[in-house]
Amino acid sequence: MTVKPLPVPPLEDTLSRFLTAAEPLVDPETLERTREQTERFASEEGPRLQAALEEFARAEDAEGRSWLSREWLNGYLTVRTPLPLTTSVGFQITGDYGAPGLGRAAELVYRAASVHLRQVRGETPQEVDPRGNPVSMTQWECLTGGVRHPRPERDEIRRPGWAASSSGAGTGGAPAADAAEIGVIHRGRLYALPVSTGDRRPVPLRTVAEGLRAVLERDEPRETELPFGALSYLGSEAAAPLLDRLTGNPHNAEVYERLTRMLFVVHLVEARAELEEHLERAAFEVGHAWAYKPITYEVCLEDDWLAMHVEHSTVDGATILAVAGALQEVAVPEEAPLPDAPAPSALTWDLTSGLRADLVTAVAAYRAEAAMLGVHRVVVPRPHRAELPFRISDDAAQQLVMLLAQLATYGRVRGVYEAVDMREYRAGRTECLRPVTPQAVAFVRALHEHTATEGLFTAALDAHRDWVKACKSARGVDRHLLGLALMARELGEPSEFLASPALAAVRHDFLSTTSIGGPDAIVRYAFAPTTPEGFGVTYTAGTDGYEFCVNHRRDTSEDLEGFAHNLAAAADTLWEFVGTLHP
């Protein structure tokens, strides 16, 4: 099935939509100046940059990429700050994998190994969107393992390069000498556990359980000061030279190569916790992952917690949703354990006293920064569809609730980012929907002042729907302007428009928001806010309500308590208004 290439939107459409996005966020004087800058851009450098981008797109299409591919990846790989505090995400997932304990952990690992090994064998089925269109499978490549390798200026993605099958396959389904391994983190220590047979099939569930039991029975003391994965929580600026020093030792270089080849890592958590605490720990706390691996799973042995820590460079939430769904669909056969399965082996770093001291100092600084990040959950009512006067998009409703909460808390509205899946295009990632439309602002202002009308409401819903359609048809604003800025840089052509305050205001995301729909595979997730004063908000539609996970900085996020309170109040206000409407 062929995935269509990512088109370059018409210049005039993007500029018109940009002005609409800027209108609610800047004062009238700035808006008028921005209109003048936009007109000059449209008649002067804009067409030249557009032509260059279209030519670049044709060249990239011929290579099987999109015009956005390399610049998008480069934006991630040049991040120098700690990934868990910048771009990585902690997802709580769900699945009927049994009661808490060793058996449930083993079933999660077996299911994950099945899905990852299927990708290694090249047998992952083609994914399609709800309309039956094929989507790009590029992001699934992260399931084969590998690492993001920190470098001083730009990191590298290193993949294992699996052979199609093992020439040294063991007999009777036994693991081969080069069987695929996973990493098991327990009490801050890492163990390598083989999970595949010679033909890249998962070992039996009972063999996985025996391996995990062997890890637990070691009963090693907890490594608290410097867990195995501690270095990976440092940003590349600090991590790259430390990793070079670490792997200068041949033993450590071998451990790092083994870590790189692992399909994934799983963290066995011993202590039960409240949901918010689990989320914060999985996303931000040192030692829960090798944070430069694409995926680290997490399972608590004492409660229902299941999670994935995801490094975001090469994979987005929609693919992680598909992976979490694929785990649920794995059939677990009743098989006898392998008679001669290799035992898990402990992997350790050989640290000089100087390197250890430097790592301890750097990790302490990370912990101090991570302690500033928190997650606050707010659940608000949601009427049953039968109670609504007409169809109201859950996504639009939740964005209107957040917008009204902004207005009620701060007396003004600021920029909001909403991610939209774009994988139906070649090498597709995400587009940015800008939900703070003039129509939405007019409606929530009227709602706040008790003067809202059905006309204002439907105009806000229509404007949101128009943005959704534009993004899904590759006619969003943010990515196109990113491409034009890339061309300006390549051609050495400065642009007043691309440096305008209005464009900066549109891109300054007081709320960075994202939703993956309902809680059937991914329940909720945590990530760092993208602005010091703002929030990262994940929102999920349940049967009877909407849940907002408000990710915040304890030191700088602006009035968390007021915003959280007004989310609930805004939902009440919205649905009270909707109740006055008639079909």
User: 312, 464, 480, 552: which is the annotated catalytic residue?
Assistant: 312
3-state SS assignment for residue 413: coil
Asked if 378 and 212 touch (Cβ cutoff 8 Å), the reply is no
3-state SS assignment for residue 412: coil
Asked if 91 and 522 touch (Cβ cutoff 8 Å), the reply is yes
Strand-pair partners of 89: 310
What gap in Å lies between CA 19 and CA 464, rounded to an integer?
Answer: 16
What angle do helix axes 454-472 and 438-448 make, rounded to 10 degrees? Answer: 150
Cα-based angle 423, 424, 428 (whole degrees, multiple of 5): 35
What gap in Å lies between CA 230 and CA 309, rounded to an integer?
Answer: 15
What gap in Å lies between CA 459 and CA 437, rounded to an integer?
Answer: 10
What gap in Å lies between CA 435 and CA 516, rounded to an integer?
Answer: 16
What gap in Å lies between CA 201 and CA 113, rounded to an integer?
Answer: 8
What gap in Å lies between CA 323 and CA 183, rounded to an integer?
Answer: 19
Strand-pair partners of 128: 134
3-state SS assignment for residue 415: coil
Burial profile 542-573: b = 16 or more Cβ within 10 angstroms, e = fewer: eeeebbbbbbbbeeebbebeebbebbbbbbeb
What angle do helix axes 454-472 and 394-410 make, rounded to 10 degrees? Answer: 120
What gap in Å lies between CA 114 and CA 121, rounded to an integer?
Answer: 10
Which tokens sit at 356?
């250890």
What gap in Å lies between CA 479 and CA 489, rounded to an integer?
Answer: 15
Catalytic-residue membership of 508:
no
Q: In the sheet where 535-541 sits, what is the strand order?
A: 373-381, 545-553, 535-541, 511-514, 416-421, 430-433
Instruction: Pick the closest to residue 434 from 7, 14, 9, 76 (CA basis).
Output: 14
DSSP state of 354: H
Q: How many CB atoms lie within 10 A of CB 357?
A: 11
Which tokens sit at 249?
């030792």
3-state SS assignment for residue 387: helix
Q: What residues act catalytically?
A: 312
